[in-house]
A and B are shown apart, each in its own frame.
Chain A
Amino acid sequence: MTDAAIPITQSAVEQFTERYLTFLGSTIKREGDRWEVTVPGEAETEIPSGQLVLFCGDAAADLGENERQLHPESSFFQEIIDEASERQPTGKITISSKNTQIEIPQWLQENNINVNDATFTPYYDRSAIAIHYRISIETVSEYQTELLRVTAIDIRSMERLPNLEETFLESTLPTEPQIESQPVDVEKSTADELIAQTREQIVERVQPKIDEIHQEASRSADAEIEEYRQMQQQRIEELEEKKTRLSDRIQDLSESIQQSSDEGDRVEALQKRKELNSEYEDVDSELEELHHRREQGFPRKQREIRERHALEVIVSPLTITQIEYERGELVLELEEGTVTRSLTLGYGDGVGITDELDCEFCHQTLGEHNSLRTIQEGLQCSQCYSN
């Protein structure tokens, strides 16, 4: 599950910028960290045409007109990648045996067996689609997390090609020699279908990260609910005190009403008692409601807090790349001591071995977790060999 993001180092910034400016038809005159750039008038870009001076790293604190800084956090670089990221989100590239090395998987080599020769014979061209997805995970209590992942699947068989994903990511690094691209020749509907096929699987792949953030969000929500509960508890205590106070005062008033002989005083006390009674009822009903809500566990507030802390995962397809690659047969010449054996396997460029290979003794599949142990009396896996 490789991260498709490229760390923004100063050298990546300079490589990309140089490539992009050249692509726009600009000329660059480099003098150390100072680049003198001339952007042609007809270039299709937001960068103003004419003279431009770039300072790499953190040079000049005061910039003049037409002078910009170029470093990982510079606004000029931001502008450039923002522009370039939208320029051509679809395209086709070719991976051919001419520029890739034959990959012999580790599980064939974890033993005393030598691979003396490996020959790939391509038989037919195949197409795969690689899609870059941005997965953004958001919740109120955590910083927004953005992940970039790529998935590659064969157009015809719809099988996922993890090795091709790796090859694709590696061969499109800014440090690698440039690969030519052509227009895509798959139908829109096919591409649409492939997106529908892959986007759920991309979410599954980042599920551990989602779970981690989910845990944290749950914890924050829990803390907030608890805080609210305590606040309400405090309020209940306050109200109860107030209720007792009011009740005492009403009691006192009632006594004084009974004992008072002066009518004026009595009327005044009655008036007062009425006010207090109504205040008492207000407090009482608020308390009752609070008690009720507490018994229920404050469902509305809980819901509100939980909703606010909910995770929002947004999956966006950003680029579609059609990858043309060759499939055919790989012939491996193996040697262990005095024994040699020739092995023919399905193979694809950038994809690796496409066949499954079974142990000739126990018929378990050979692979990453079960390597080839010996070829002395046929192919034998390490699991049954050790028994």
Chain B
Amino acid sequence: MADFDLVDTEVTHESATDLLESIDADSPERDHVQTIQAVRLQAGQPDSELRSLKQLDVESVKLLEHQVDAAYRALFEMDGKALLADEVGLGKTIEVGMILKEMHFRETDDSVLILTPAQLAKQWQGELLEKFGLEYVCNYDDEFRGFDQHDHIIASIDTAKSDRHQATVLNRDWDVLVLDEAHYVKNEETDRYDLIDNLSYNYGFFLTATPIQNELTDLYNVVSLLRPGLFGTRDVFHHYFVNSNQETLVNRDELQDRLNKVMIRNRRADTDIDFTNRSIDTRTFDPSSEERELYQAVSDYVRGAYSEDQGQKLVLMLLQKEVVSSPAALKATIEKRLDGQSELTHTDELESILDLIEGIETVTKQENLLSIVEEARDHVEMGRVIVFTQFRATQREILDRLTEEGYTVHSFHGGHSSQEKEQIVENFEEEGGVLVSTDSMSEGRNLQFCNIMVNYDLPWNPMRVEQRIGRIHRIGQKRDVYVFNMALKDTVEEYVLERLYHKIDLFQQSVGELSSILTRLEESGKTFEDEIFERLVNADSEIDLENDFDAMAVDLQEQRELAEKLEEFNSGVFEGFDLGASDD
């Protein structure tokens, strides 16, 4: 790098008087060599260890070598300021979990702020608790009282930068700042960048799989937030590392040296992670005419009610999801609606829906589920299958039916104590059979002993779907994984599945990949669920609806391609860089 001589160097020689005095006080009984050793040990680097590792419950978290190395280097070699830039799917969250656990053990985590994209906040909270026993409050929790009221907080970065909270966030001296998806702050002209730039913290851990979004300057911005001055000025960085004609990287070695002080990037190819195959089998069934009628009635009701009062969105969305899950799930909500409000305008409509529910004798999905579990019973070790549904009522129906048919069943839902949950999983492992679970089955549970799962109904949130699959298809799964999706023809479920999820190849994506697709979409402020629901109620015709879903799929597809390009671009730039765990 261009030679710089902007600052002076002043050399001071400390007085030797005291040292010389000790010549006179020299006593034969004292051991001079011991003092030499003490002086030399004082100057040595402690052989630091991750002391908290032994406290981790091996049942809840399996640590991989590259993760332990990354946590170690970030803490001890980078003095607690690091950009964790592993390729997607290598467990950056685990690395941060280890770091935070260690800091907790060393009591250097009095105040910690974790900033994430909105849709990942709850997942972070769950993982830290279940894998590392670390309790964090999330800004979406009811008990959240503000950024000055808790010491360990997970929040969406946009909440933190909102007018309501920003002052409080900036007013505090945080011990630790964790910034997930750090590439979203790469632009120095955004509010997000300003927020991080103005935050006061001692230790910082930034995460991203794609430090570079458009140009090398992105890297400059992210690194400069973490270690100001490491790269000098933007201009100098640009002149020195970027060939401005071709916008290509020059002086790689020096860039690598400099990056090595602050960035860790493990590559999939360098780790021994080996994911087994994942097979997806989507089965769509013709609903019976009764079911078809019911679906139509509910959809009409939802559309009508929504056009009158958009404030009921949540409950209407619920009805639309329940009708494809099971008549039982729908029934409870309809009844509650009838009982709850006396001045309801659509009483007749609701009554007739109830009649339609009563008229259904065979539930198509239930019948078809039987053939899947039966296949499993014949072919898979102890016939273990996990069936996921979003609704308790559906869960109960499935359990009853499977019991009737003579299957060993296990039920898992959010109402159990954590001890009970553990027992349920243990029983499932020992006894085999079918585990019917709601989405409260959490990330920390080890279910690799099972390799077949059924999506009895489908969440309208791709992250949820991936989280379900992630329960069994994770590091430690030794067999191929089979995922069955069940859907009724000509329903919203079929649209979501066929037109959206399959188009973005959802079932083959990892959480990290998905989040980079979705975060861009959600920058508009809408959730995936909203997008689906709006299309459903606003379409004027069947064809309209299909077109709308196709348009959404095109958007997603575009985001997906962008995300893939970025990945490729970054691996290209960092190819030949050694920024992972060292061998020595």
Which residue numbers of A lie inside 8 Å of B, CB to CB?
A: 4-10, 12, 16, 19-20, 23, 58, 61, 71-73, 80-93, 132, 134, 139, 141, 143, 146-148, 172-174, 178-179, 181-184, 186, 188, 191-192, 195, 199, 203, 210, 214-227, 306-307, 309-321
Smallest CB gap from A217: residue in B: B7
Q: Which of B8-16, B169-177, B242-250, B372-380 touches A?
A: B8-16
Contacts of B41 on A, CB cut-off 8 Å? 5-6, 8, 12, 16, 81, 174
Contacts of B48 on A, CB cut-off 8 Å? 72-73
Q: Is residue B34 contacting chain A, with contact meaning CB distance below 8 A?
A: yes
Contacts of B3 on A, CB cut-off 8 Å? 215
Cβ contacts A to B, 17 pairs, < 8 Å: A7-B44, A7-B45, A58-B51, A72-B48, A73-B48, A82-B38, A85-B35, A85-B38, A87-B34, A90-B26, A93-B33, A181-B30, A219-B4, A221-B6, A222-B236, A223-B231, A311-B7
Given contacts A84-B38, A317-B19, contact A222 B6 (CB under 8 A): yes
Cα–Cα, bound, A72→B298 (Å): 68
Q: 1/0 contact trace for B245-272 toward A, CB 8 Å? A: 0000000000000000000000000000
Cα–Cα, bound, A147→B40 (Å): 10
Cα–Cα, bound, A328→B231 (Å): 55
Contacts of A82 on B, CB cut-off 8 Å? 38, 42
Smallest CB gap from B10: residue in A: A312
CB contact between B47 and one of A10, A81, A316 (< 8 Å): that residue: A10
Q: Is residue B22 contacting chain A, with contact meaning CB distance below 8 A?
A: yes
Known contacts A81-B38, A89-B32, then 6 further A-B pairs from the complex at CB < 8 Å, ordered by chain A residue: A4-B40, A6-B41, A72-B47, A87-B31, A222-B4, A311-B10
Asked if B31 contacts A181 (CB within 8 A), the reply is yes
- 8 tightest A-B contacts by CB? A91-B32, A220-B229, A218-B4, A219-B232, A84-B38, A148-B43, A183-B26, A181-B32
Smallest CB gap from B24: residue in A: A188
Q: Is residue B347 contacting chain A, with contact meaning CB distance below 8 A?
A: no
Contacts of A309 on B, CB cut-off 8 Å? 6-7
Cα–Cα, bound, A134→B254 (Å): 29
CB contact between B37 and one of A9, A172, A192, A316 (< 8 Å): that residue: A172
Contacts of A88 on B, CB cut-off 8 Å? 22, 26-27, 30-32, 34-35
Given contacts A181-B32, A309-B7, A310-B10, contact A219 B38 (CB under 8 A): no
Number of contacts between A and B (CB, 8 Å)?
A: 228
Asked if A8 contacts B45 (CB within 8 A), the reply is yes
Given contacts A183-B27, A219-B229, A223-B232, contact A203 B11 (CB under 8 A): yes
Contacts of B51 on A, CB cut-off 8 Å? 58, 71, 73
Contacts of A227 on B, CB cut-off 8 Å? 233
Would you give the shortest CB distance from A168 to chain B, in whole angstroms?
A: 9
Cα–Cα, bound, A147→B4 (Å): 23
Given contacts A85-B39, A222-B233, A309-B6, contact A320 B19 (CB under 8 A): yes
Smallest CB gap from A315: residue in B: B13
Q: Is residue B164 contacting chain A, with contact meaning CB distance below 8 A?
A: no
Given contacts A88-B22, A148-B39, A188-B23, contact A312 B12 (CB under 8 A): yes
Q: Is residue B308 contacting chain A, with contact meaning CB distance below 8 A?
A: no
Give the interface centre of B46, B47, B229, B234 by most chain A CB atoms within 10 Å: B229
Given contacts A85-B38, A315-B14, contact A90 B22 (CB under 8 A): yes
Asked if B28 contacts A132 (CB within 8 A), the reply is no
Smallest CB gap from B54: residue in A: A58
Asked if B46 contacts A72 (CB within 8 A), the reply is yes
Given contacts A90-B19, A143-B79, contact A319 B235 (CB under 8 A): no
Asked if A148 contacts B7 (CB within 8 A), the reply is no
Cα–Cα, bound, A101→B20 (Å): 33
Q: Is residue B58 contacting chain A, with contact meaning CB distance below 8 A?
A: no
CB contact between A90 and one of B6, B32, B232 (< 8 Å): that residue: B32
Given contacts A84-B35, A221-B6, A319-B39, contact A6 B16 (CB under 8 A): no
Contacts of A192 on B, CB cut-off 8 Å? 16, 20
Q: Is residue B5 contacting chain A, with contact meaning CB distance below 8 A?
A: yes
Q: Is residue B1 contacting chain A, with contact meaning CB distance below 8 A?
A: yes
Smallest CB gap from A20: residue in B: B34
Asked if A85 contacts B14 (CB within 8 A), the reply is no
Asked if B35 contacts A86 (CB within 8 A), the reply is yes
Would you give the shortest CB distance from B17 to chain A, in whole angstroms?
A: 9
Q: Is residue B543 contacting chain A, with contact meaning CB distance below 8 A?
A: no
Given contacts A58-B49, A84-B38, contact A315 B6 (CB under 8 A): no
Asked if A132 contacts B33 (CB within 8 A), the reply is no
Cα–Cα, bound, A146→B22 (Å): 24
Contacts of A141 on B, CB cut-off 8 Å? 228-229
Contacts of A81 on B, CB cut-off 8 Å? 38, 41-42
Given contacts A4-B43, A5-B44, A220-B228, contact A310 B24 (CB under 8 A): no
CB contact between A148 and one of B24, B31, B32, B40 (< 8 Å): that residue: B40
Smallest CB gap from B46: residue in A: A72
CB contact between A195 and one of B9, B16, B22 (< 8 Å): that residue: B16
Smallest CB gap from A194: residue in B: B16
Contacts of B24 on A, CB cut-off 8 Å? 188
Cα–Cα, bound, A134→B30 (Å): 23
Cα–Cα, bound, A47→B43 (Å): 22
Asked if A89 contacts B35 (CB within 8 A), the reply is yes
Cα–Cα, bound, A93→B79 (Å): 39
Asked if B1 contacts A215 (CB within 8 A), the reply is yes
Contacts of B37 on A, CB cut-off 8 Å? 6, 16, 84, 172-174
Contacts of B234 on A, CB cut-off 8 Å? 226
Contacts of A181 on B, CB cut-off 8 Å? 30-33
Contacts of A83 on B, CB cut-off 8 Å? 38
Contacts of A215 on B, CB cut-off 8 Å? 1, 3-4
Cα–Cα, bound, A183→B400 (Å): 90
